[in-house]
Every structure is written in structure tokens, then in C-alpha cells.
Amino acid sequence: MMNWRKSIITFLSVWMLLAVALPIQSTNAESIVQTTEAELTTSISTVSMTEKRQMEVQFDFGERVPLEKIDWTFGNKPLEEWKTYRSQDNGYTGDPFITFAESPTYIGDSTTVTAVLEFGLLFGTDNLAPRSIRVLYPSFIGTYDLSVTNSETAETLSKEITYNVYDEYLTYEQLKPELDKITESAQSENDRFIEYKSLGQSYEGRDIHFITLAKNQEAVDKYLNDTLPTALENPAELLQKIEAGTIGDYQVPIWFNNIHPDEVEGIDAQVEIFRKLAQDDEITFKTANAEGEEEEITINVEEALEHVIFLFNFTHNPDGRVHNTRANINGFDLNRDNAFQTQQESVYVTEEIAKWSPLSFLDMHGYVSDFLIEPCTPPHNPNFEYDLLLENMLQQAHAMGQAGVANSDYDSYAIPYEDYENGWDDMTPAYTAIYSMLHGSLGHTIEVPGLNQQSLYAMVHTGLGATNFVLENKNELFSQQLKLFKRGVDGEDNRSVDELLVNQNGDIIGRDRGENENFFPEYYVLPMNELQKNKWEAAEMVDYLIRNGVKVEKTTASVEVDGVVYPEGTFIVPMKQAKRGFANAVLYQGDDISDWNAMYDAIVVNFPDLRGFTMTEIRSEDAFGGVTSVMEAAEYPSTSIDKNKGHYVLKNVNNETVKAVNELLHSGSKVSIATADGNGYSKGDYVVHRNDLHKIKDNYYLEVVPIDNMSNVEKLAGAPKVAVVGSGASRFVLQQLGFEITSVDEADVIVDDTGRVNKEAIAAGTSYIGIGGRALQAVKQSEILDGFDFKRTNFSHEGLLKTNVANDSFITSGYETEEVLYGTTGSWITAVPKGAETLIEVATSDDYFVAGWWPGKEQVMGQTWAITTKVKSGSNVTLFANDLVFRAHTEHSYRLLANAILLDDVQEKKKGKKP
């Protein structure tokens, strides 16, 4: 770009010599078209939305056409009609941004016209990051004809010009062809080992492109089949070899990642890093040393491949790249799903991360005002071996920042751990980089400040800076990862971690061990007999843990531990293993961090309580020694029918039952409800005919008992139609459960977790289920319930609370009188309308608050959390202050929602028919 004018002068000189040398065939325009190769030439062929550029243009009609008779267009639109976007007008009403830096003129006495066009900034800024712009710019990406037309003859000369965000931007459709092109060149010219695979497909069927770049296949096989298994099972052996200098040649992985595809540099920077590593022999870039002085670093790629395996996950969310959205097609932010793994894209990617356990992990994001590179502020997740991670992460962050600044227009970078007080924490493993830290990685989220060319340069060089840091410190970094794994294998709870775990005041609080010596238990036990309240979810947990690299075992004989007999086949998670930090992060109850002034996002993970299965913590050392075998895959329970009866009860104890009931209702089968407790079943359980049960019993895990007395059974009206006016999570969950989603006009029930109360629909007889504080607020403002009121601290507050549940309501059927439930909007009900049923109340015991971040939480103790009532129109209105569908993770609460929907007709009959 800097020498374009010099190149143009040289080009013009040659052109003029040729123009003098070549005879002019004719002055007739039509003849010129037939006998000359008239063309329009330009000094550049790509223009940018984020960088002003000048373009030398030259053309020859074969005659000296009056300049005012030459029309200029770009994409068939006159240049003066290409107007700058004005946010205050919400339209393209500003000055033209394609103008003449040098007006058209003839070169000497020739018929050749030259001009310099200036392409300014379509949006009046070089930063397209604001969401108001981010939704607009994709429609302008493409190729356009730059054309000049002789208005007297209509003769037109054109050249195709690419209009892009910046030069390196690729659409999803362009991504795989570009990767193939780079790979083909690298393999033919550089003999590089490059392996492509799709990690899986998005919900819309697009591949998640993944590339491994390594020295050779043997290097990959050695790492996956030798180095890493030894690191996980016997890290002391490798540590000893490193210390003795006998470890020999080995490679460690660096993983480059993008999860928010509308933060576009995260994809394109990876392509550029891959291009350099695949095609270049040497990569030279600038950096700044500790004194701020500029230096050059050269990476010899062949030498680098002796030490590093490069992994590229170009985007976790391909549908988002196509639709230019942060979320996937279901409306989920996948950077909040790495722990929960409810979305299939997350399942594919996290399984691969667990498989590789990369030494260094870079998740590429935008946009914050600072050029930001983690590590994070406190509070820190206590399941990290943070003392082993922090110092190396800080040094690597500085190496990345120094390279990013030296190779872009940015003059500074920020590291939250050093530069922020709070609000950018790593408490939750929901984020990809934080998830990787629980697998022993130096995990960094990187945020560039703007969507533009300079951010692309900065992001590319953070990757190169991180790579160079690993190359310079490989043995030390791998030793630290091995020490992390060794603590897990040895069951060591090292007190050095405590020094880094502080409260809002900066006081050291350490890991919360309670009365235990060790923060980590010896085992977690998932019983699969009558002690287990949800066998299906317990099996799902086993599948999850194995998929995420956690060792799970089952007992091969009956074992008594702490007075409890665990039969053969009990699932066991031994905590003396390398990945114990990850296992504990998803299985322990969590922490109360309500003293913090600010948190970035929700922090409760706690699978047992949120997904509703029984798990026991065992502290006795070697309690299951010698009586377990390693599980290679989860073992799921199946439906068992003992007797041949006419009708059976499907116990309302898991989400599989809801799915089965919905399938039967949609097929036209009769489904009834038990209206009173019976022999082996409870009020609110479902009743079906034997023939219908046999149709679906193999599709779901159902707990079944025969029923003889049908006097306390009432038929359901049929498959309900549900309108979702809330989040993508609500829609996703209801579709998972098998409900028919329809419009408000056709719905029997409206489900709302965002506060969009439809008074007209409710007045017309449609029932309403409101979830969370925003729905409570909207109900209060709508005045549809006389005497209703609520309070909140802040809609961003969350808590996992002990509650008391009414046991005489259809809506709470299948639940125990004491349950641990979850809320994410810091709200509770303060006034219950006359005649309404209270369904859930927060406990009043001192230990009512289990985990979460809820400043002011003491106000919710003993308060109402859910009610149901009937309004004048006959509609049922059911309100939950707790969250039933949060990020599709609170599966234990799904049946509260399903009961309120499926039993809506029964509730009406109980209270009186709709008018």
C-alpha cells in the first residue's frame, strides 16, 4: 500500500510507450470495440470498509471522449449515490464516500484517461464493531463492477472490484476452499503434514472445520498415544525425564479457537496464522521488549514443528458465521455452554479439547475498549491449580500483547489480572478458554478493540507471540502442566493455591474445605439402585464425564462405605486422577461469592442439583480399591415391565416421561393423569394403556408400575399447543420435551421468560406461564393479577437455594417436599393474590443459600418463589421466580414447566371450566 504511487508511475510510463508504439485502428467507437482490447485497469482490486484507500484508474475508449460525457458507476450505481451511513438518521444519508482524489484527465495527447478514486469509510468509521453496524455491513460484502461509460455511445469498460471488511475477511462459504488452497500449496511446496477433519456439524448442517498442522503423522500419534497418556497416568515419569534431560523429542499442542463468529478477526486471524505456518519457511515479526523497545523475532517453521503441534478450530459456530450472529441457530451463546454442553456444537468441540489437553489455548474474540488478554480478575475457580497456571499465563499474555501492539496501530494492551479490580473473572468454566484451563491449558481469551484491519493484524500477532513463548519455554511449561496433572493423580490439595483465592476486600480465603482436610473428595458415587432419584440423568452424567476426559468406574462387587451398601454396578468417579479439577468443577455444589461487587456471568454449574440426580461424596481413602473396573462408555437404564396389565402408570420422575407422553398425545393415543396417590404411584403420574406403552417403551427410560383401580384417573385433553414468547432456551427446551410450538393466536399456553405478557391472549382464555424476574415485573405492570407483587435485587443475580415445595399440586408432582432449585434474576414474590396456590417457598434454614452470586440474598430467605392461580377469563397464570430453562442446563426443573403445560386442562377442571 505504501509504494502504490511509485508503482503506478512506472506502470503509466510503460503504458504511454506502448500507446505511442501501437497504431490507432479507428476513431469509430463501434470499430474500437470490435478491433481493440479496450480495458479498464486499476492499481488495486480490493477496497475495504475499514481502511481508506486510493485507487489509480486508467482506461482508453480509443478516442478523446469529453470527460463530462463519461459516467462513473460502482455496482451499477453512480459514485455520488454511494452515501455514508449516518446513525442519527438510521440510513445512508451522509456525504458520498467514493470520490475523486484526482479528477479524470487525459495523459498528454493520448486517448488514455487516468484518475485517482478515493474509497472512504462507508460507515464513517474504521470500526465496524458496534452492533448497530455489525448487522449492516455483511450485505455490502461482495464483488462490484467499477465501470466507465461513454454516454454518447453507451460503450462501457469495467473491472470487477472486491469490497470487503478488510482484505483477509472470508465468508463461511469461502473458508474451506481457502483452507484447501493453503493445504495444497503447503503439501506440494513445503511437504508439511496437514490433516483436515470436521469435528461435527452445526444444527443447520455446516461442518466445524478443524486442522492439525504437525511435523508428521508420527508426531501426532506419539503425542496422542504416548506423551499425553503418560502425562495423565504417570506424570512423575515425564517430570523426572525432563529434569534429567532424557525426555527426548516431543511435541506439545497449541490450540487456536473462535467461538463468536461475528467477532470476525477470530476466524480470519487463524487463517492467516495457518497460512504462514503452512507455507513459509520463516516467519519474522516485531515485538516490544519490557522496556518498550522494538525487536524482531524470527520463527523457523521447520524447527517449530519439532516442538509444537498446531490445532486450528476456525469457528465453533459455523451457522453464526453465515448469519453474522454471536449465538448459534438455537439462540445460545456457545461461550456460555462449554461446561453445560447442551448444544451439539459444544459437545463436538469440548470433546476434542479434552482429547488433546493443549498446553496453550487461545480463544479469539472482540470487542472491548481495551486490547485485552487474559488471565482474569478474581474470584478464581477454586478447582484450578492456579499457582501453577498464573505466572506462565501472565508471561504469555505479555508476549502476545507486545507482539500485537508492535504490529498494529494499537499502543497498549490490558491484562485483567493486573489492570482490573473485578468484573472479568474466571469463576465459571462456561467460557472456552476457562474450560481449557481445567484441562491443564494456559487458556487465554483475547479481545481486540475494533472490527477492522488493525485488529486483524493485532490478533495474528498475538498468535505468533504465543507460539514463540511456547517455543522458548516448552520444557518449563510442560513441566508445570505435568505438575498440575500430578497433583490430581496424587490427590494433593496444595495450599499454594489458597494464596490466590481472595474475597472482594482482597483477603485470602483459600479453598472452602469446610471441616475436611482436602478440598477434593476421594470419590463421587452415583448409585444406580433405589438410592438414585434419576437414573437417566446419572447415566447422562457418566457419558458427559467420559466424553470430557474424566475416568469413571463401576463397582464389580457390592461394597459398604460409611454404613451404606453400594451394589455391584454403582458408578464411581475416583478423584485421584489428572482431570480431577474438571470433574470437581461440575460436580461440587459451588461457592457463595455474594460479597463481590461485580461478576461477569453466572457461576453455578452443579450438575447433581441442576440436573436432578443423586450423588454422594466419599471421603474414605481407597474405599472402592480393587472392586471397580474402568467404564469405556455410559450404561443407560431401560424400561422394565414386570406384569401384564391393561394399564400402567408412567411415574412423573424424569424428562424421558414427558417426552414419551408428548409422543403418545401427538399420535392420538389416550393419556390420563392420576388424581390421587395409589399403590406405587403418586398424584400427577401418567396413565397409559398397555398397547400404547409397548409402542414407546424402547424409545425412553420410563419407571413403570401397573394400575388396577382407574377410579382416580382423569383423561388429558390432548397434545397442548405452546407459544414461546421468551428466549431461545425456552423454545429449545420445549422442543426437546416434544411440545408443539405454535403462534400465540393458536396456543393453549404461553411460555414467557423475558417479560412479554400478552393481556389480550390471557383475556381470551390462553394460559400463561411466566419464568423469572422479568416475567414477574411484566405481570405486575400489566395488572392482570390483583394483589400480586414482587421484589428483586438485580436481574443479574443468581442463586442455588434450598426450597420447600408444595406436595399437593399437579404442577409440583414428581418433586420432593425439599428441593434445591435455581434462580438467575434475583427476584421473589412478595404478595400472593387471593385464592392463588403457593407452589415453592425458599427455605428459612441457615444454610438456605447453596451457591451463587446474589448480593442482598438474605432478603429472599423464606419468600415465595412460585404460584399458580386462575384469572376471570378462566386462564391459568403460573409464575416462577426461579429459572426453569436457564441455558437448557436446569433439567431438574423442566418438569415444573411440563406439568404446568400438560396439566393445564386438569387444573381448569379442578378450579372450574373456562367460560
Catalytic residue among 447, 819, 837, 841: 447
Cβ neighbour number for residue 97 with a 10 Å cutoff: 20
387 and 500 Cβ atoms separated by less than 8 Å: yes
Residue 100 to residue 118: CA distance in whole angstroms: 6
Look up residue 195 and give its amino acid: E
Residue that the C-alpha cell 486517448 belongs to = 111
Residue 575 to residue 490: CA distance in whole angstroms: 9
Residue 857 to residue 869: CA distance in whole angstroms: 27
Set of cell numbers at residue 651: 411415574
Active site residue 391: no
Residue 70 to residue 78: CA distance in whole angstroms: 11
Contact partners, residue 514, CB within 8 Å, separation at least 6:
none
Q: Provide φ and ψ at 331, rounded to 5°.
A: 85, 15
Q: Write the DSSP assignment of 114-125 as a string of letters.
A: EEEEEE--TTSS
Set of cell numbers at residue 319: 451457522
Q: Write the DSSP assignment of 443-482 as a string of letters.
A: EEEEEESSSSHHHHHHHHHHHHHHHHHHHHHHHHHHHHHH
216 and 193 Cβ atoms separated by less than 8 Å: yes
Residue 614 to residue 600: CA distance in whole angstroms: 30
Residue 842 to residue 832: CA distance in whole angstroms: 15
Cα–Cα nearest to 381, from 482, 255, 492, 512: 512
Contact partners, residue 646, CB within 8 Å, separation at least 6:
689, 690
Number of H helices, E strands in the chain: 25, 44
Cα–Cα nearest to 615, from 642, 575, 558: 575
**87-94, long-range: CB within 8 Å, 24+ apart, which pairs?**
87/132, 94/124
Cα–Cα nearest to 489, from 555, 557, 440: 440
Helix (H, G, I), strand (E, B) or coil at 800: strand
Class of residue 380 by CB neighbours under 10 A (exposed 0-12, middle 13-18, buried 19+): buried
Q: What share of the chain is helix, strand, coil (3-state, %, to 5)?
A: 35, 25, 40
Look up residue 412 and give its amino acid: S
Sheet of strand 142-150, all strands in order from the earlier edge strand to the far edge:
46-48, 156-164, 142-150, 70-74, 77-78
Contact partners, residue 544, CB within 8 Å, separation at least 6:
341, 586, 607
Cα–Cα nearest to 882, from 874, 870, 890: 890
Set of cell numbers at residue 729: 432456551
Residue 566 to residue 527: CA distance in whole angstroms: 7
Set of cell numbers at residue 706: 401397573
Helix (H, G, I), strand (E, B) or coil at 362: strand
46 and 75 Cβ atoms separated by less than 8 Å: no
Active site residues: 447
